[in-house]
Structure 1
Amino acid sequence: MEPRINVQKEGLQAMGALYGMGKYLSKSTLSKSFLELIYFRVSQINGCAFCLDMHSKELREMGETEQRLYLLNAWREAPFYTDRERAAFAYAEALTQITSSLVPDEIYNAAKEQFSDAELIDLTIGIIAINSYNRVNIAFGAAVGTYRIGQYA
């Protein structure tokens, strides 16, 4: 698909706000591979092909297994994810598929058991950021399949 608008060229100043989130998260105590896994899951929910291509390539480069990537959409039934990852997936889904005014207490409390306050803030910012990138790509299109590992590092 040919992009409707080349956001990297035409919207560079506007995209700077999102790039700032990435810069902030690069200093997070949450590992890059952990955040990439969350980005991949949120991109599955949103159906962002560009981000799925991008984050799957980054995750595989970081040593993530094909099995965990293939089954991520069914993480509740698959035994390959840690309790911490499961809490983050549920939290990410609640923030991505907003159905009420607050993240349900059960999901929030499970996340609080796994993450410090600072980590939960960083996780929230990461989820906000990937949802924003997904929506930009879905609105304007992106050259799916062209991403190279480290392209936006």
Structure 2
Amino acid sequence: MTRIDIAKVQPAAYDAMFGLEKYLETSDLEPILIELVKIRASQINGCAYCIQMHTKAALGKGEAVERIFALSAWKESPMFSDQERAVLALTEEMTHISRQGVTDRVYAQVQEHFNEEQIGQIIMLVTTINAWNRIALAIQIQ
């Protein structure tokens, strides 16, 4: 079954999504951390297209192949910093928001490593990649 071309039928909405991407490029967040979040959310959501795109981007920014391989098991892997762990935990809770929301424990961990502006940027990052995943899956981008 052929699905719609969202960029063609909803160009203003699609442009707004790219506006969020441009905003994220100006954030204080490390480029590799941004890609790790995008990969992890995409893994959870089962978006192969986004996993492939953001894995390539992470590698292009200098991320190690081993860390990308370990990303789905970041809780057990010693390869991730406490700062990365805090963001990945927030990514997982936001991506699975219907389970329990974002817990105080995870939010407090993020507060240990980031200021309010950065936390806002992280929340927008996770929100944006989850939206992209849903778009890609709904229209079966390949």
TM (norm. structure 1) is 0.87
Q: How many residues were matched structurally? A: 141
* Percent of pairs with identical residues: 36
Residue 45 of structure 1 deviates from its aligned partner by 0.5
Matches within 5 A, 1:1-153: 4-98=3-97, 99-100=99-100, 102-143=101-142
Q: Is the 8 A contact 1:90 1:107 kept in 2?
A: yes
Give 3-state SS (helix, strand or coil) of 1:71's partner.
Answer: helix
Residue 8 of structure 2 aligns with an amino acid whose one-letter code is K
1:127-151 Cα offsets, whole Å, 9 max, x none, are: 00000000000100112xxxxxxxx
Q: Which residue of 2 aligns with 1:151?
A: none
Give 3-state SS (helix, strand or coil) of 1:79's partner.
Answer: coil
Of structures 1 and 2, the one with the larger relative CO (CA 8 A, separation 6+) is 1
Q: Is the 8 A contact 2:31 2:61 kept in 1?
A: no
Q: Which residue of 2 aligns with 1:146?
A: none
Q: Is the 8 A contact 1:37 1:59 kept in 2?
A: yes
The unaligned stretches of length 5 or more in structure 1 are 144-153
**RMSD between superposed Cα atoms in Å:** 1.4
Residue 34 of structure 1 deviates from its aligned partner by 1.3
| Of 60-69 and 11-20, the range deviating more from structure 2 | 11-20
**Separation in 2, partners of 1:65, 1:11:** 37
Residue 11 of structure 1 deviates from its aligned partner by 2.8
Instruction: Flag as ranges the 4+ runs of structure 1 deviating above 3 A.
Output: none
Residue 7 of structure 1 deviates from its aligned partner by 2.3
